[in-house]
Amino acid sequence: MTQNELIEMIGEAGGYGHNTCEQNEKSFYPFMERFAKLVAEKEREACAEMCKKHADVYGAFEPTPSFQAAWAACIDLRDQIRARGEA
């Protein structure tokens, strides 16, 4: 994740700093929870996309049981990673 992506997520989470909200426990912990959820969501999607890219590689080969199984495993992993965000 780039610094700009993290800064963008800080803004999405409601910002945190001298001018954006009070720096006390009541405002800090809800902010951190929102921020952590955004970071986890971004990482899950990056992992899911990597699984999809691997599936595309296996899908480009001539269909054999081994390549089909590898493709299916990649797609299953992608779907399981994305489902973690829905729980």
Work out the mean pLDDT of the chain and round it to a whole number.
85
Q: What is the pLDDT of residue 55?
A: 95
At 86 the pLDDT is 83
- 38: closest CA among 78, 9, 15? 9
pLDDT at 85: 82
Give CA–CA dist 17/24, Å, rounded. Answer: 11
Taking the whole predicted model, whether its pTM rises above 0.85 is answered as no
- Spell out, as residue ranges, where the chain has pLDDT lower than 50: 18-20
* pLDDT at res. 84: 92
Determine the pLDDT at residue 4: 83
The pLDDT assigned to 26 comes to: 67
